[in-house]
Amino acid sequence: MVRDLCGLGEIGDGLEVQVDGPDGPVFIALFRLAGDVHAYLNACPHLGRSLSLAPDEFCVGDDGRLLCPHHGACFELATGKCVSGPCVGDSLKRLEVEIAGDRVLLREPG
């Protein structure tokens, strides 16, 4: 199953998209890095808190790393791997997306 998430131009420095999941809303964090789109559940593996300060406000550095604003975990956007902070070695939960024209589509398992 494929679900339309947003327009490619909407992502900017980070975009949070909410979709309906089987157990309620699911929040997805989308990022553009070197022409690619990366999608993760918007939840830090440390304590499950949101990776954004507010909707669509992420701490993304010029080095392609994302900082969790709650406890300082730092993640590589390209891989989702935590490289410093309280959950070193853990990773964000990656979601599969594809680009169709100017739309970002979520590939859902099943």
Residues 104 and 29 sit within 8 Å (Cβ to Cβ): no
- The two three-digit tokens of residue 24, written as one number: 């309620």
> pTM score > 0.85 for this model?
yes
Q: Determine the Cα–Cα distance for residues 5 and 26; give it in Å rounded to an integer.
A: 12
CA nearest neighbour of 19 among 27, 31, 11, 9: 27
Class for domain 2-107, per CATH?
A: mainly beta
Q: Determine the Cα–Cα distance for residues 11 and 31; give it in Å rounded to an integer.
A: 6
The pLDDT tens digits for 62-101 are 898 999 999 999 999 999 999 999 999 999 999 999 999 9
The pLDDT tens digits for 13-68 are 889 999 988 888 999 999 998 889 999 999 999 999 999 988 889 999 889 899 99
Return the pLDDT at 110. 65
